[in-house]
Structure 1
Amino acid sequence: MNLYIAGGCNEHGRNSFLITGDSYSILVDCGAIEDDSYCYPYLTKQQIQSIQFLFLTHSHKDHAGAVNWLIGNGFQGIIICSEETRQQSLIKYSQWQILSLPVQNYNRFTISDNLYVTYGKSGHCVGSLWYLLNFENKSILFSGDYSEESSIYKCDKLSGLYADFAVLDCGGGNTSFDNQDNRTAIRSFVLESIKNNKIVLLPVPKYGRGTEIIDLFQDECEELSIYLDEILACQMTKQYKSWYKKTFSIPINLLNNWNGVPAVLFASDAQLSNDCTQALANKVIGLKGDIVFTGHIYKNTYSDFLIRNNMANVLDYPVHMGYSQVVKILKKNSFRKVILYHSPEKIENNRESVVEATVRSKLSI
């Protein structure tokens, strides 16, 4: 059995991992990347057409953004994920296997006598799962984007598990960070701007980090004017009880109704990729407001342009594990070999179990 890295190691995006054995060919995630002239996973048509199952950990572009490309190149297998991931991905396809939510921590789904998967919530966004695949007497864990420290999203913690191979998110790289310090920094910056009668725009992803940052201001919701676009407002009002640790009490003002007064604005377009949010950003700049980016920004996007021209601020809100957090996971589980992905920087590691892997590496399991 082999594990082929079609994308995701030593880069931020294009996450895609192909497992081939005697009986099955399985792909975990099929993401795109915006920091490269070629944005798709490195898979041949022959590889694509042999895939029987595609497991999606969640709907973010860097994990599911190349699925339509995969289908266009001959994929005819079954896509396996949560119902929320299916809905968010907007992928038009006929063959889905929807996994029910774990009732108590881990759940198990059997495909055949030779293939079953244990899975749980990964704490990254609504719909996000980790997978422990078992077939041909081997086990391979895929953490997806994983966080035990989310203030909003439930996580079925990885603990007491064995895997021959573990593919773990290390998007935080070598950085040692304290999530609470990052939350405090963002909250303080925004409140200070509002105190100075300024507008603050926070462009965030459609799903995930945005609701966590909105939650930072629940205690001030009566004093602050907070405006959300429709995608974020839906998430705040729908109250995904199976995925959220808490309920929200923030009054919902729709961004379309904002009239230019000092307020905190949330737009679900982290890269400012569409004309409407670009126009909104320009309006905020024209009114001498502040723009705050809180996550990874791809090169040559409008967000990147604003940052390079000192027209916006960057205050990271970590939603990925750094190496120090990965070590904690390794201590709580038994993984024979480990691959770290999602970080463009080389991870400073001294553990024998961690295997060096790059895009297009082929490893024997």
Structure 2
Amino acid sequence: MSTLTIWGGAGEHGRSSYLLQDKDGQSGILLDCGVKKEGPGEYPLLDTDIIPHLQAVFLSHAHEDHSIALPLLYKYGYPGKVWTTKATVKQLPDYFEAWDKYVAAQSASLPYGEIDKQSIQFMYLEEHIPPQTWLRIAPNLRVQWGRSGHLAGSVWLILEWDGTVVFFSGDYTKESLLLMADSPTIMEAGAKDIVDLSIIDAAYGADPDEQLVKLQQLESAICNTLQKGGSILLPVPIHGRSQELIVWASECFPDDQLIIEEELIAPLRGLSDKTEWLKEGAIQRVNTLFNRKNLCIISNSEERAKALLNLKSSIVFTNDGMMQSAKAQEYFHQLSASPDNHVIFTGHLAAGSFGHRLVKRSMVEESSDTRCTISLIRYKVHQGLPDIREMLQTIPSRRSVLVHAPKSHIDHVTSILEEEGFAGLYSLLPGSTLSF
């Protein structure tokens, strides 16, 4: 039997890294190699003796919790290439730069050097095959991919390797406002009609809400703030939900001022070169945003200072979803003194991050120096309970490992699904192994 070893990502949110090994343990495949934004930074539980013998490495998308530890593979002797997409590779420099700044801010050191980053070699899936088509990479290895709807360039994967079939969802959602998602299906995987192992995004645990519910909650919170004459601060990552939320806010609040940092605008402009990842009409929606009169794009500190002085009844987007940067905190400190204002986080907040501390503090006590409202309202870029259930039905599997959330959350989900009759579900931790 083959073996799955969790180098990171199961039982936690972050450092996605899944090692597949053949029955003799002489060859391996790695799915993702990310980091965890906690403390000085946490890296995958790499076995340096195995890395030189990896047959292939696949990268599902550019977010740091899936990608930033890739240089360690080359530091420790990985001789091959990383299979991913062009859009993903174009986004990686932004995430490496952000990770470098994060580590420096923690007074920590990177475990790899610039030469290791420059050593990464990529192969582009879309240059070889379209979605949902098999590509033979080696005599014993075939792969197919599909768009996962999480980020421009993000993919799910099905591998047929040494007689076993493995499905890896990456980060998946079919509810993106702008991005296409391909439904994963087994396409001519030999004589098999069931996969041997699935690794499935379950980041939202037992959350039952669909995207529409989240957007209604977000719209209500913003409306209430604007009606009081207050402003809303939305800290978001550079790529992903940021572009979707900006377009959504522009359409939902056409008469209110939008203030957006240039770092978030550049990826929006870049979508025109990534139409193969987008839903029909997405580019027209982006262009409408750029044509609105009450759009203020912040390109430097002078423009930011001017915008902060005149901040009233505005919707502000700044890059840095956890509000760790000085720039994001500058916006916060300007808004925090007024009870009319509202800071809304829309995604994961790592333990100990500035955003996490704000949300946690707002839930338990009042702060004398923070009078604005602090909220966490998710925008869906991962799977909740109904989505996990549907994926298990779409991709029947002998063993399914649910990942990308704390183990207690995964335990709760597996308990619910097992009561419904699903079998072969696993809730694992970093360092765990599973034969399949």
Normalized against structure 1, the TM-score is what? 0.93
1:314 to 2:353 alignment: no
- Pick closer, same or farther for the CA change 1:295–1:102 going to 2, 3 Å: farther
1:269 to 2:269 alignment: no
| Residue aligning to 2:348 | 296
SS in 1 for 2:263: helix
CA offsets, 1:332-364, max 9 Å, x none?
Answer: 232221110011022323022213422211122
| Residue aligning to 1:141 | 167
- Pick closer, same or farther for the CA change 1:19–1:207 going to 2, 3 Å: same
- Pick closer, same or farther for the CA change 1:105–1:48 going to 2, 3 Å: closer
Worse-superposed segment, 14-23 or 334-343: 14-23
CA contact 1:179–1:318 (8 Å) conserved in 2: yes
CA contact 2:128–2:135 (8 Å) conserved in 1: no
Cα RMSD for the two superposed structures: 2.2
What residue ranges of structure 1 are gaps of 5+ in the alignment?
A: none
| Residue aligning to 2:20 | 19
- Pick closer, same or farther for the CA change 1:358–1:120 going to 2, 3 Å: same
| Residue aligning to 1:58 | 61
1:216 to 2:248 alignment: yes
Worse-superposed segment, 320-329 or 56-65: 320-329
CA contact 2:211–2:379 (8 Å) conserved in 1: yes
CA offsets, 1:174-225, max 9 Å, x none?
Answer: 2221321111111221132223222211011221111222232233454121
| Residue aligning to 1:283 | 334
| Residue aligning to 2:235 | 203
The correspondence for 2:180, drawn from 139, 148, 154, is: 154
Shift of 1:164: 1.1
| Residue aligning to 1:234 | 266
- Pick closer, same or farther for the CA change 1:73–1:230 going to 2, 3 Å: farther
CA contact 1:221–1:250 (8 Å) conserved in 2: no
The AA in structure 1 aligned to 2:404 is H
1:70-219 → structure 2 map (5 Å cutoff): 70-90=73-93, 91-100=117-126, 105-159=131-185, 162-219=194-251
Q: Larger helix proportion, structure 1 or 2? A: 2
Percent identity reads 25
- Pick closer, same or farther for the CA change 1:39–1:105 going to 2, 3 Å: same
The correspondence for 1:47, drawn from 42, 45, 50, is: 50
| Residue aligning to 2:8 | 7
| Residue aligning to 1:253 | 296
- Pick closer, same or farther for the CA change 1:225–1:108 going to 2, 3 Å: farther
CA offsets, 1:135-164, max 9 Å, x none?
Answer: 101111100001112122100112356421
SS in 2 for 1:165: strand
CA contact 1:255–1:265 (8 Å) conserved in 2: no
* CA distance, structure 2, for counterparts of residue 277 and residue 38 of structure 1: 20
- Pick closer, same or farther for the CA change 1:321–1:220 going to 2, 3 Å: closer
* CA distance, structure 1, for counterparts of residue 129 and residue 44 of structure 2: 34
CA contact 2:238–2:267 (8 Å) conserved in 1: no
SS in 2 for 1:153: coil
SS in 2 for 1:217: helix
* CA distance, structure 1, for counterparts of residue 204 and residue 394 of structure 2: 19
* CA distance, structure 2, for counterparts of residue 200 and residue 216 of structure 1: 14
SS in 1 for 2:123: strand
* CA distance, structure 2, for counterparts of residue 77 and residue 103 of structure 1: 20
| Residue aligning to 2:426 | 355
Q: Aligned pair count? A: 365
CA offsets, 1:279-317, max 9 Å, x none?
Answer: 222122245532110111111111122223325221122
* CA distance, structure 2, for counterparts of residue 232 and residue 38 of structure 1: 24
* CA distance, structure 1, for counterparts of residue 398 and residue 124 of structure 2: 30
The AA in structure 2 aligned to 1:145 is D
Shift of 1:5: 0.9
CA contact 2:60–2:156 (8 Å) conserved in 1: yes
List structure 1 segments (4+ residues) > 6 angstroms apart after TM superposition: 101-104
Shift of 1:121: 0.4
* CA distance, structure 1, for counterparts of residue 33 and residue 156 of structure 2: 15
* CA distance, structure 2, for counterparts of residue 25 and residue 146 of structure 1: 24
The AA in structure 1 aligned to 2:424 is S
* CA distance, structure 2, for counterparts of residue 212 and residue 353 of structure 1: 35
Worse-superposed segment, 103-112 or 133-142: 103-112
Shift of 1:129: 0.4
| Residue aligning to 1:328 | 390
Shift of 1:71: 3.1
- Pick closer, same or farther for the CA change 1:327–1:284 going to 2, 3 Å: same
- Pick closer, same or farther for the CA change 1:335–1:40 going to 2, 3 Å: same
